[in-house]
């Protein structure tokens, strides 16, 4: 049974998009705020190790490397929430967290991310 099961209406942007760094910074900041808003309605998992499944829901599929890279900001935000106290962006490398990525085709113009956090029996 998952500790966290959230569907967040959020549009991920392909890393292939050419834009000024300030636009990317604004978008990443807004994404962190939206994800933190939803995470703060949840109880933190009581123990580790954890398996975190990130699913992109969008009108068409991306190749796998774009999918993984587009979740980088979400992954940092989630890991900072799960393991507070580490330097910003460093908690996602913790060996107690296992990351899984997938994507689903949604309705036209539907954009969301699905976050599922469950306990895993993986020995650390």
**Domains held by the chain: number:** 1
State the virtual CA torsion across 85, 89, 94, 97 in degrees, nearest 10. Answer: 110
Q: What does the pLDDT average to over 91-115?
A: 92
Are 35 and 112 contacting, i.e. CB atoms less than 8 angstroms apart? no
Give the model's pLDDT for residue 124: 55
Residue 124 lies in a domain: no
Residue 77 predicted with pLDDT over 80? yes
Residue 1 predicted with pLDDT over 80? no
53, burial (CB in 10 Å: exposed 0-12, middle 13-18, buried 19+): middle
Q: What is the CATH number for 20?
A: 3.30.1330
Residue 77 lies in a domain: yes
Instruction: Summarize pLDDT for 7-17 with one digit per residue, the tens.
Output: 999 999 988 88
Q: What does the pLDDT average to over 76-102?
A: 90
Residue 96 predicted with pLDDT over 70? yes
Residue 30 lies in a domain: yes
Give the model's pLDDT for residue 87: 80
- Domain span at residue 113 reads 4-119
- CA–CA separation, 36 and 48 (whole Å): 20
Residue 23 lies in a domain: yes
């Amino acid at each position: 049974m998952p500790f966290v099961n959230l569907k967040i209406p959020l549009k991920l942007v392909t890393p292939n998009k050419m834009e000024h760094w300030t636009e990317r910074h604004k978008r990443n900041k807004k994404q962190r705020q939206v994800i933190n808003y939803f995470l703060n309605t949840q109880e933190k998992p009581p123990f580790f190790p954890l398996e975190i499944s990130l699913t992109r829901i969008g009108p068409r599929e991306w190749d796998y490397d774009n999918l993984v890279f587009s979740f980088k900001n979400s992954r940092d935000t989630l890991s900072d929430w799960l393991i507070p106290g580490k330097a910003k962006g460093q908690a996602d490398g913790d060996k107690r967290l296992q990351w899984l990525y997938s994507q689903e085709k949604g309705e036209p113009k539907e954009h969301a991310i699905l976050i599922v956090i469950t306990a895993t029996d993986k020995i650390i």
